[in-house]
Amino acid sequence: MNDTDFGLADLPLRDDLRGQTPYGAPQLSVDAALNTNENPYPPSPQLAEEIGSAVAEAAAGLNRYPDRDALQLRADLARYLDHGLDRDQVWAANGSNEVLQQILQAFGGPGRKAMGFEPSYSMHPILARGTGTQWVPVPRTAEFAIDVEAAHSAIAVHQPSVVFLTSPNNPTGTALPLETIEEVARIAPGVVVVDEAYAEFRREGTPSALTLLPSHPRLIVTRTMSKAFALAGARLGYLAAHSATVDALQLVRLPYHLSAVTQAVAITALAHADELLGAVKRLRAERDGLVDWLRGHGFAAADSDANFVLFGRFDDRAAVFQGLLEHGVLVREVGPPQWLRVTVGTPEEMTAFRRALLDVTGRS
């Protein structure tokens, strides 16, 4: 039997997965990869070496299972978050995507609903689908904000077990006012997840939902080391919540889900948080400069509290995407129809992006 005789259609795939597409940001080899919101600055050679030593030490004990509860790592993450949290209120997994999946496994599932405000992170509905949770999208306003009235009625009608609030939002860059988060937390019957993957990039004065945790026991704030920490390859995400939420996640997590290698890498990286986060300031300045430049050249650019900018508007965004790619600049075709998203890279990468964009659109 050769490959072409057998396909997905011949497998006993779940009905709700038929015809669906997997997450798939292109991984292409280009001069400027500005499509997955990675941090363009790698760890220094010294830090890479230190991580290597920690991994070598972990390797000597790989005959044993790792610390199932990742106690040291969680204590270090709690200290990093610095909101009076302790390790019982922090949980970690292989990327915040796994944390989000565990949340849906524990609080979503068949017969339950998860709600999000779109456009937003494409993985939220994909993870809902994978866990058999019905996805309820609610549109954002034209300014990519959440209309509290609309949230109110959608929550009243659907009674979602899980509500996702992404702040700063991907792909728009929009941060939510604390009042919006508080209001949703007040009316939602289940858990409210504030996905703060880009928290470290927010502008001065933009608050974090971490400050709401003591007064809102069903609130969950998720974070990641993939973006600001420049550690996307290590796969480490985490959350802060009431310790009862962390207890709930123990019921669905795989035993020993965080390898000894991952824990060693993350602990070492956290000990050098200052260095790894050193580029955040530069990236924020580069982002603000990019927004100004785009607007100055007649493009629309959404306000951003993240390490990317949503820009437009293009009657044929696919053509602009393709034109940029032909200049060696890979952006992301995501979000509302006339917009594209570009990750903030190095100054050289941003120069290449600006040149290519002017050339492709015929502007100057």
Q: Which of 70, 165, 167 is nearest to 117 (CA)?
A: 165
With CB under 6 A as the contact rule, the residue among 89, 101, 167, 170 that binds ligand PLP is: 170
Residue 121 or 144 having the CB closest to ligand PLP: 121
User: C-beta of 197: minimal distance to ligand PLP in Å?
Assistant: 4
Sign of the Cα torsion 239, 244, 247, 252 reads: negative
Nearest CB to ligand PLP, comparing residues 102 and 245: 102
Q: One symbol per residue from 13 to 42: x for binding ligand PLP (CB under 6 A), - otherwise; what is it?
A: ------------------------x-----
Q: 165: closest CA among 105, 101, 116?
A: 116
Closest CB 29 distance from ligand PLP, rounded Å: 21
Dihedral sign computed on CA atoms, order 230, 231, 237, 242: negative
Within positions 196 to 225, which residues make up the interface with ligand PLP, using CB under 6 A? Answer: 197, 224
Among 226, 245, 263, 268, binds ligand PLP (CB under 6 A): 226
CB 267 within 8 A of CB 54: yes
Give the CA distances from residue 30 to residues 33, 329, 352, in Å, rounded to whole numbers and listed in that order.
Answer: 6, 7, 12
DSSP state of 247: H
Report the nearest approach of ligand PLP to the CB of residue 345 (Å): 16
Q: Which is nearer to ligand PLP, 161 or 166 (by Cβ)?
A: 166
Residues from 94 through 153 that contact ligand PLP (CB under 6 A): 95-97, 121
- Number of residues lying near ligand PLP (CB under 6 A): 14
Longest dimension (CA), the chain: 62
Least gap, CB of 63 to ligand PLP (angstroms): 29
The least distance separating ligand PLP from the CB of residue 170, rounded to whole angstroms, comes to: 4
DSSP bridge pairs for 327:
none
Q: Where are the alpha helices (DSSP H) in the chain?
A: 45-59, 71-81, 96-107, 123-130, 148-158, 178-187, 243-249, 260-271, 273-276, 278-296, 317-326, 347-361
**Nearest distance from C-beta of residue 232 to ligand PLP, angstroms:** 6
- 38 vs 349, beta carbon nearer ligand PLP: 38
Closer CB to ligand PLP, residue 266 or residue 356? 266
**For residue 119, cis peptide bond before it (omega within 30 degrees of 0):** yes
The minimum distance between CB 296 and ligand PLP, in angstroms, equals 27
What's the Cα-to-Cα distance from 318 to each of 20, 32, 127, 298, 314, rounded to whole Å?
Answer: 21, 18, 27, 19, 9
Pattern 52-91, ligand PLP, x by CB under 6 A = ----------------------------------------
Closest CA to 70 of 50, 90, 48: 90
State the minimum distance, in angstroms, from the CB of residue 107 to ligand PLP. Answer: 17
Interface ranges with ligand PLP (CB under 6 A): 37, 95-97, 121, 166, 170, 195, 197, 224, 226-227, 232, 237
